[in-house]
Each structure stands twice: as structure tokens, then as C-alpha cells.
Amino acid sequence: MKKIKKTNKTNPVVTLISLAVSFVMGFVFSGTDMAGVASFADISVSGALPLPESSAVLVGSLIHCIAGKSVGRNIVKISAMVLIVIAKMFYEPRNDPKINGFITALGVFVSGMAVSALIGEIPYKLIFYIFYGGLAGFTSYSLSCILSGLKKRFVLDFSTSDGCAYAIVYTVFIASLCSLDIPYINIGLISGITVTLTGAYYYRHTGGVICGSLTACGAFLSSMDCGMSVVLLPATALLTGYMNRLKNTTASLCFVGINFTLMVLTGITENSIYSMIDIICGAMLFIVISPAYSDKWIATGSDYVSALPDIISARSDFLSATMRCVRSESEKISEVLTRNNIRNITAKEVINAVCIECRRKSECWKNNYSATKSGFNRLSAMNEFSAESFPYELKDCLYRDGLVAFFRKNAIEKAEAKRREIRNAENMTILSEQFRTMEEITLSVGVRPEIRYSAPISKIVINKLNKFGFFPSDVIAYYNDKNRLHIEIYFNISNAPENFTRVRDLIADELKINLEESLPVSSDEKTRIRFFEKPEYRLEVYTSSLCADISGENGDTSAVFNDGTGKSYVIISDGMGNGKNASVESRMVVQMFRRLINSGTEYRTAVRIINSVMVNKSPEETFATLDAMCIDLDTCGLTVMKSGASATLIRHRNTIRKITAPTFPIGIYNRAELFESVCDFEAGDIIIMFSDGISENEYRFIKELLLRTDDIKNIVDEICAKADVFNPTVHSDDITVIGIRCHKNI
């Protein structure tokens, strides 16, 4: 299969904003200093960005130098950025961080050496430009790593090795901004203080100390006086970090108060007064922006690590309880279906079958009742029949041969029933052991989920629900790998709400976001409901069905459900035969599949469990097909699952693909057979599923419909309407047709 490379079309608005931001950064950083020399922040930014943005940085820096008449003083920086832009023309669109860092360092070194050669200072400047170029190149490499990570996942991730890159870039930028010449205030310090207070408030003392230390380091790199003014900032952030339970305004006042106290204790100077102005400005800026803060865009990993045991424990306990509940229900079903399967023959049955025309019937059953009954009981207990073993009480019976034939037939039926009972008992024993094993596995094994736990949102949800009279046992809020919010809420059965719509509305109102919900799932102890942000894609589903007979009972069962993690399932099950009995079988398969999937069971395991239940639930042979589609609504990925099901037709772009599965239905063998296939699927594609009531003769007609129209309702209705026309046999079967079309959410 050929892979088609997708081309990404850049939004013009995004491009203009990117160029504008790059231009501003070049303009601002061009006039900054660091450690007594010109800052290399603009050079590093130019080296890290793609060619268009890199050129914008160069233009911004050049305009600033021309306006400030400092072209000569900044000729090395300008020349270095020119060389960087020229180099990017040759290796773009490749944007490797190592190459960016190397090009930046080399550009600074070559530019510095060329200028030094012109003024005759090469021996003195050689070591300086090697060091200066190395720092600029390393900073460019760090910024390039950050930008590459943001392209893959738009989150500031401090939990990986990129956290070091963020620290380097942050320190360099703060040092550069601190050197800006603005009366009375220091932009670098105000920015650093705002970040420090944010880190202390949302990530407690750890976040505060880290941000405060980096801010102080950047200030010292700018100048000694600037660094001394915030030398105690890490200590202030440490103390403020323990006040994260307070309101943001109260925490800000405490932050300012602690800074003022430490300033008084260390001695107030003229620089201290200006530093206090910066601290107040930073605190006020924090108050303004903190309501808009969301940990959706920042990942530290600390909350996830601390909450991981709780997440695994809650999920494992719930899944284990669900397995125990399903096992108990299957045992009850088997007990009911096998009850009274073996019984003894009554005297009335013998009279009706053998003695009905005998002229001595009255004499045997009235005058010699005890002896006759005793003889019949002995016959009923025999497995082998012969003249020697024939009961003496019945030696004068006129229908002796008929009596022996009757009880011989009964003995065979009893033996068969006993054999089925033993087999069923053995199977149920095996099944119960399988379930018990699964319970133990789910309790002991935990797979690390690809999620990012959100402690603040979990806390907000609990407080909101408690305020309005809902008391969940567990609340787990997290972001998935697509940065989409999910909330799992567990209630004890005794206090679970009857309607979860109110719960969803309360949470959505508090978080100011729209939430969708999956169907609640219950074990014998708890009920779980999942709420989630709207995914990238949505499904349009239309179903139509016809019954084979006049009973009105369709043997097919279908369902559409979302498991609450971003996957939607569409399933059809066709029971054996048609009518009520087939409906019972197919309904059981669909209900168990949906329950197991929603409980967190992997679909292969779910199919094996359902097969075990179907094989062992009764002594009669029963089976049902399984045809399921799993669509990942975050990526539009499609997985097809089939056990004895009919073909599925998929329209992908302008081609029609037929998916068939040479497998047996569920319930025929002890070992389940499952066909699975991952198929290409995207927005606008259509899937047509149907039960075996649709003849293969109709496939060509269905393909023509799929290529002719996008209206899945019309397609499904036409398929059902033409089913009898294309059916080559007189006998008809139940029909179910489902059309699925994927759309991109707006």
C-alpha cells in the first residue's frame, strides 16, 4: 500500500502573526545587553526559527540599529544573522535543532573573526568569539528543541529533558529584557516576578523556587545591581508556595509583603525602591492573568506521578468488580437454563405411552399398584435391559417389548442429559476460573496510561459537586495525548445520581467549557461516568432494519456508543436464525461487548470473554456474529473487528474497499476467532455495515450508491428497499444496515 504524504496548508493569519512576533523579538532584543556585552538573544532566536521568521528577526534587529544609529556597534550581530539567513536558504525545510545550533555558533564566530580582522584585533577576540558563539549556538539549539516539541504537542512540557532547554532560554531572555532602558520600571524583572509568582501559586514551593532562582540568575547576568535587587526572590517564592490555597489576590499581597519585609531587614536603598515598584507591578500583572491560567498548556509531570497510584487503583478496582459481576450473572444464567434438565418418568407418562390400550391396565394399576410401581421404578433405574434382569413384578405384562423400548429410550435420553450437564458444569468451572484469574490480573497489573493528570481540575470538580449535594468517591481529571480534557467520576451505588445531565452541566459551568458524556457503567459496587471535551471528529450514523417474519422481532441487534476515552464503537450482532431466539443471542453479545468496553476491557479480551459466556451459558448450541467498527475520534483511525460477520464496504476518498473475514461466529468454539484490520479512514469517508440478510448480489449496487452520493440515509434506505430484489433465495433473513460517515468537528 502506498503512503501518501499529506501537505499542511499554513493559515495566512498564523503566518502573519508569527512574522510579526519574530520582527518584534528582533527589534526588542537588538538593543539589549548581557554580562556587559551585547546580548545574543536575537541571534539565537534567528538561528532557531525557520527561514521566513529568521528573516523577520533580522529585519527587526536591523531597523532598531538604524533607528538607534548603532549599526556599527552591532555589526557583528547583524552580520551573524545575515549568515544564518543565507545558510537557512540551503538546508530548509529541514529544521534540525543541532544544525540550527551549529549554524548559529558558526555564524557568530565567522562574523566576529571577519570584523576583528578588519580592525586588527584577531588575537584578542579569538577566544571571546569562540565562547560567545558557543553560548549563542547552545541557546539557539535549546530554543529550537522547544519549538520542535511544541509542533508535536502544543504544551510547555517541563517534565522531559526539554525542561533544561526552557530554563536556558528563559534565563537568557530575562537577562536581555532586564537591560532595556525604560524609566522607573524594569520589564525583565516584572516578567520574571510574574512568572515566579505564577509558579509558586500553582506549583507550590518547588515551582516558586525554580522560577525565582532562574529569574535571579537572569537578573545577575544583566548586571550586579539588577541581580542584587532580586537576590532574595527564591526565598520569597518558597514562602509564597505554601500559600497556594489562598485566593490569588491574597497570595499576591503576601508575596509583596514578604518581599517588603526582607527588604527592610536587609536595608532599604534607592535601588530597593525601584525593585519594589517592579515587584508590585509583577504582582498586579499576576492578578490580571491568573484567572486565564490553565495547566492544559503546561506539563510538569509531578501531579501525574503523585496521582498515578490513585488512578491505577480506581480503574483496577472498578474493572475487577465488573468482571466479578459478569461472572456471577453468567453462572446464574447457566443455572437457570440447566435446571431440571434430568427428571424421572411419571406413572402417568408410562400409562399414556404403553398401557393406554392394555385390557389389564386396571388390574395392574389398581389391584397391584405397589408391585407395578416397584417394577417400573426398577426399569427406570436400569441402563441395560435383558430377559434375566427384567423385574419379576412385571413378568405377566402383555406389552413387555413396548415397555422395554420405552425405558431404553428414556435411559438414552437421561444419559445424554447427564453428559450435557457434566460438560456444562466443567465449562462453567473453567469459565469461573478464567474470570477469577482476570479479576486478579486487573488488581495486580497496571498499565501506565498516556495521560496528564490535572490536580487543580479534579479538586475544582469535587468541590463543585459537593457544594450541590453530589458526593463522588473518586474524581480523576486528566488530559489525553491530544491535550483534550477528560473527567472520570465514580459514585457508590447507594448515592449515584439517577440523571447525570445535572452533574455534567455543573462541571461545564464551573470550567467554562462544553462537555460531552459517555453512558454510565455500573458494577455491583460503583457507577462510573465519563465527561470529555469535544474530540477532533464526530460520526454521523444512520440505521435501518427489516424483520424476516411477521412476528416483528428482529434477530439482529445494533448499538452505537462512545467509551469516553475518544473512541466510538458501532456494532451489529446477528443471532442464529431469526425472530425472538436470535434476538436474545445477539442482544446478549452487544450488551456484554458494550459493557466490557466501557469498563476499560481491551476489545480482544472482551470478545474472548463473550465467547466463553456464549459457549457455556446453556447446553444448547447457540451463537451470534460480531461486526464492530472502532473509530478514534481524535485521529480518525479505524479498526474493523469481525467474528463470522458479513462483509463491510468502506468508501475511502474515491475508492471502495470490501472487508471480509473468514472467521466463525461467537459461541461455536471454545476459542474465539477475531479478525481485525486497521484501515485508512478520514473525514468524509463512509462505512456501510450490514447483517447476512443482504445478499452478495447487492454489493455492486451498494458500490454504485457509495460513489454516487454522500447521503448515508438515502444509501441505507435504498439498500434495505432493494434487499428482496437481489435475494436469490425464497427464504429471507432479518436485515440490518448501518451507514457511518466521519465529519470534522467545527
Q: How far is 110 from 273, CA to CA, in rounded Å?
A: 44
Asked if the structure places residue 306 within a domain, the reply is no
The pLDDT assigned to 3 comes to: 38
- Judge residue 560's burial from the number of C-beta atoms within 10 Å of its C-beta, 0-12 exposed, 13-18 middle, 19 or more buried: middle
pLDDT at 396 over 80: no
Domain that holds residue 479: 450-532
Residue type, 606: A
Confidence of residue 621 (pLDDT cuts 50, 70, 90): low
> Same domain, yes or no, for 175 and 258?
yes
Q: In the predicted model, what is the mean pLDDT of the chain? A: 82
Asked if the structure places residue 308 within a domain, the reply is no
Question: Is residue 539 a contact partner of residue 510, using CB atoms and an 8 Å limit?
Answer: no
The pLDDT assigned to 716 comes to: 93
> Same domain, yes or no, for 147 and 162?
no
Mean pLDDT within 449-459: 85
Q: How far is 274 from 546, CA to CA, in rounded Å?
A: 82
**Regarding predicted confidence, which is higher, 505 or 728?**
505
Q: How far is 346 from 114, CA to CA, in rounded Å?
A: 116
Domain ends where: 154, 170, 194?
A: 154
Q: How far is 234 from 255, CA to CA, in rounded Å?
A: 11
Phi, psi of 238 (to 5 degrees): -60, -45
Q: How far is 401 from 397, CA to CA, in rounded Å?
A: 9
- CATH of residue 130's domain is 1.10.1760
> Same domain, yes or no, for 146 and 190?
no
Lowest mean pLDDT among 170-179, 206-215, 240-249: 240-249
pLDDT at 124 over 50: yes
Asked if the structure places residue 419 within a domain, the reply is yes
> Same domain, yes or no, for 242 and 122?
no
The pLDDT assigned to 723 comes to: 83
DSSP β-bridge partners for residue 687 = 650, 740
Asked if the structure places residue 320 within a domain, the reply is no
Q: How far is 626 from 604, CA to CA, in rounded Å?
A: 12
Q: How far is 472 from 490, CA to CA, in rounded Å?
A: 6
Angle between helices 302-338 and 580-598 (to 10 degrees): 160
Mean pLDDT within 383-409: 69
Q: How far is CA 80 from CA 33, 58, 68, in A?
A: 17, 10, 19
Specify which of 223-232, 414-423, 470-479, 666-675 reaches the highest per-range mean pLDDT. 470-479
The pLDDT assigned to 476 comes to: 92
Angle between helices 187-222 and 233-240 (to 10 degrees): 130
Cis peptide before 497 (omega within 30 of 0): no
The pLDDT assigned to 467 comes to: 93
**Regarding predicted confidence, which is higher, 442 or 50?**
50
> Same domain, yes or no, for 116 and 241?
no
Asked if the structure places residue 327 within a domain, the reply is no
Mean pLDDT within 721-726: 82
> Same domain, yes or no, for 573 and 704?
yes
Question: Is residue 230 a contact partner of residue 192, using CB atoms and an 8 Å limit?
Answer: yes
Q: How far is 130 from 248, CA to CA, in rounded Å?
A: 46
Q: How far is 30 from 8, CA to CA, in rounded Å?
A: 33
Element (H, E) at 492: strand 485-492
Asked if the structure places residue 333 within a domain, the reply is no
The pLDDT assigned to 489 comes to: 95
pLDDT at 147 over 70: yes
pLDDT at 359 over 70: no
pLDDT at 4 over 50: no
Dihedral (CA of 289, 179, 298, 7) sign: positive
> Same domain, yes or no, for 365 and 513?
no
pLDDT in tens, 262-315: 888 877 666 778 888 889 999 999 999 888 888 887 877 666 566 666 777 777
Confidence of residue 551 (pLDDT cuts 50, 70, 90): low
Question: Is residue 42 a contact partner of residue 29, using CB atoms and an 8 Å limit?
Answer: yes
Question: Is residue 111 a contact partner of residue 131, using CB atoms and an 8 Å limit?
Answer: no
Q: How far is CA 468 from CA 461, 477, 506, 510, in A?
A: 11, 19, 9, 12
Phi, psi of 539 (to 5 degrees): -115, 140
Dihedral (CA of 239, 242, 248, 251) sign: negative
How many structural domains are present in the chain?
A: 5
pLDDT at 479 over 70: yes
The pLDDT assigned to 130 comes to: 86
Mean pLDDT within 394-417: 71
Asked if the structure places residue 40 within a domain, the reply is yes
**Regarding predicted confidence, which is higher, 220 or 667?**
220
pLDDT at 571 over 80: yes
The pLDDT assigned to 9 comes to: 54
- CATH of residue 569's domain is 3.60.40.10
> Same domain, yes or no, for 511 and 580?
no
**Regarding predicted confidence, which is higher, 659 or 121?**
659
pLDDT in tens, 499-530: 899 999 999 999 999 999 998 988 888 999 99
The pLDDT assigned to 351 comes to: 61
Confidence of residue 487 (pLDDT cuts 50, 70, 90): very high
pLDDT at 681 over 90: yes
pLDDT at 77 over 80: yes
**Regarding predicted confidence, which is higher, 371 or 228?**
228
Q: How far is CA 66 from the centre of its chain?
A: 53
Domain ends where: 86, 120, 154?
A: 154
The pLDDT assigned to 540 comes to: 94
The pLDDT assigned to 213 comes to: 92
Residue type, 449: P
User: Cell numbers of 39, please?
Assistant: 546580548
Confidence of residue 127 (pLDDT cuts 50, 70, 90): confident
Q: Is 631 helix (H, G, I), strand (E, B) or coil?
A: strand
Question: Is residue 117 a contact partner of residue 76, using CB atoms and an 8 Å limit?
Answer: no
Mean pLDDT within 687-713: 89
**Regarding predicted confidence, which is higher, 370 or 110?**
110
The pLDDT assigned to 552 comes to: 67
Lowest mean pLDDT among 341-350, 441-450, 489-498: 341-350
> Same domain, yes or no, for 167 and 293?
yes
The pLDDT assigned to 349 comes to: 66
Domain ends where: 532, 555, 578?
A: 532
> Same domain, yes or no, for 69 and 147?
yes
The pLDDT assigned to 5 comes to: 40
Query: Which of 261, 252, 346 has the alpha carbon at shortest distance from 291?
Result: 252
Asked if the structure places residue 273 within a domain, the reply is yes
Q: Is 402 helix (H, G, I), strand (E, B) or coil?
A: helix
Q: How far is CA 532 from the centre of its chain?
A: 10
> Same domain, yes or no, for 274 and 379?
no
Mean pLDDT within 603-632: 82
* pLDDT above 90: percentage of residues in the chain: 27
**Regarding predicted confidence, which is higher, 434 or 325?**
325
Q: Cell 558557543 sits at which residue?
A: 134
pLDDT at 231 over 80: yes
pLDDT at 163 over 80: yes
> Same domain, yes or no, for 723 and 584?
yes
User: Cell numbers of 16, please?
Assistant: 502573519
